[in-house]
Amino acid sequence: MNIIGIESSCDDTCVAVFAKKSEIIFERKVSQLAIHKRFGGVVPELAARAHVDNFAPLLYELKKNGYLDEAFRVAVTYGPGLAASLSLGVAFAHTLAAMFRADMCGVNHLRGHAFSPFMSIFPVRIEDFFPHLGLLVSGGNTILFEIHDGFEINVIAETVDDAAGEAFDKGAKLLGLMYPGGPEIEKLAKDAERGRFKFPRAFFGKNEMKFSFSGLKTSLRYMLENITDDDVFAKELPSICASYESALVEPLVNKVAVALACKKYNSMGVSGGVSNNLLLRNKLIELARASETMLLLPKLKHSEDNAAMIAFAAHIDRAHTVADVRNFDASLKICN
């Protein structure tokens, strides 16, 4: 039967329908960007209030399109994420399940991201692509992991401080750019000189499997303190963005290369909002070619937070869904 996916772990209110025929037949996202933009980041209290407003119209759309008239299961993100935002999605899912006597399950948001690259090749036997090397890069997480038999996930490397997306957003804020910072920095960096400004690359080239981005952000702050002339700043901004973007992307690609050198993977993938970054995508394409590893790239709309990946994960990763969703869990790990 159809699966109605619900995602509200942060600032996007999303619903999707995954059909029996193994495809996403409906998906809607209500973005809260306009609300959070002026604060330079997501304000949890405002995000929760906006979810309350946004779920009602999405419910009517599901109804209008007839998706509530036939039997369905409900799959909801139950963690990790912002506690109040998660709890609203879980409450919405419970309401649907109770009203329509539908089964309901909880999906780990990170596992949703981890399997999203497979949406681009489904329906196939996903196990044939294991062991799979995955890079999850979002506003809250930077995790290199592998998926192997039984859909089990092993973490290979994680950030010890800021996530990659957080480093993009905080860097953009220092540069006076809008939130979310990743796309803003990427836009300005396009065609600009990359090596002009020197930024640190933590754990680069070493076999120490960790990421760290807080030093990068601090070094940007010190560098900006030395540029006191507004005209110089305006002239150099594109090169600063390009150099900063490279310093963020290169350590990510470096650790993927180290992992590929250690083991043969049947496929690799990338997911999370930062995976929309073209420099990152292109470098991973090069790496996949050089290592003769199949690269799975989710559609741009399925890289960011979305409900399609939640419905999809509920279908393929059934063993790891949680049947009894009486609560949400803001601190879940990708392995759970």
Tokens representing 101 are 């006597």
* Least distance in angstroms from the C-beta of 209 to ligand KG4: 22
Strand positions, DSSP E, the chain: 2-7, 12-19, 23-31, 72-79, 104-108, 132-137, 142-148, 152-159, 210-211, 267-271, 295-296
Q: Which is nearer to ligand KG4, 191 or 229 (CB)?
A: 191
Q: Which is nearer to ligand KG4, 5 or 140 (CB)?
A: 140
Instruction: Please check whether residue 95 is in contact with residue 285, taking contact to mean a CB–CB distance below 8 angstroms.
Output: no
Q: How far apart are CA 105 and CA 93, in angstroms?
A: 9
* Least distance in angstroms from the C-beta of 66 to ligand KG4: 29
Q: What are the φ and ψ backbone dihedral angles of 239, each rounded to 5 degrees?
A: -70, -35
* Least distance in angstroms from the C-beta of 226 to ligand KG4: 25
Task: Determine if residue 203 is left, alpha or beta; phi over 0 gives left, psi from -120 to 50 gives alpha, anything else beta.
Answer: left
Strand 23-31 to strand 12-19: parallel, antiparallel, or no bridges (unpaired)?
antiparallel
Q: How many residues does the chain have?
A: 336
* Least distance in angstroms from the C-beta of 64 to ligand KG4: 27
Q: Which is nearer to ligand KG4, 106 or 140 (CB)?
A: 140
* C-beta neighbour count of 5 within 10 angstroms: 31
User: If you ran DSSP here, which 8-state letter would residue 27 be given?
Assistant: E
* Least distance in angstroms from the C-beta of 325 to ligand KG4: 21
* Neighbouring residues of 17: CB distance < 8 A, sequence distance ≥ 6: 2, 3, 4, 5, 24, 25, 26, 27, 62, 67, 72, 311
Q: What angle do CA 116, 7, 177 make, to 5 degrees?
A: 85
Q: Which is nearer to ligand KG4, 271 or 293 (CB)?
A: 271
In the complex, the residues that contact ligand KG4 under the rule CB under 6 A are: 10, 138-140, 165, 168-169, 180-183, 186, 272-274, 276-277, 304-305
Q: Which is nearer to ligand KG4, 42 or 268 (CB)?
A: 42
Q: How far apart are CA 92 and CA 112, in angstroms?
A: 19
Q: How far apart are CA 147 and CA 76, in angstroms?
A: 22
Q: Which is nearer to ligand KG4, 54 or 276 (CB)?
A: 276
Q: Which is nearer to ligand KG4, 96 or 186 (CB)?
A: 186
* Neighbouring residues of 38: CB distance < 8 A, sequence distance ≥ 6: none
Q: Which is nearer to ligand KG4, 102 or 308 (CB)?
A: 308
Q: Which residue is nearest to ligand KG4 (CB)?
A: 182
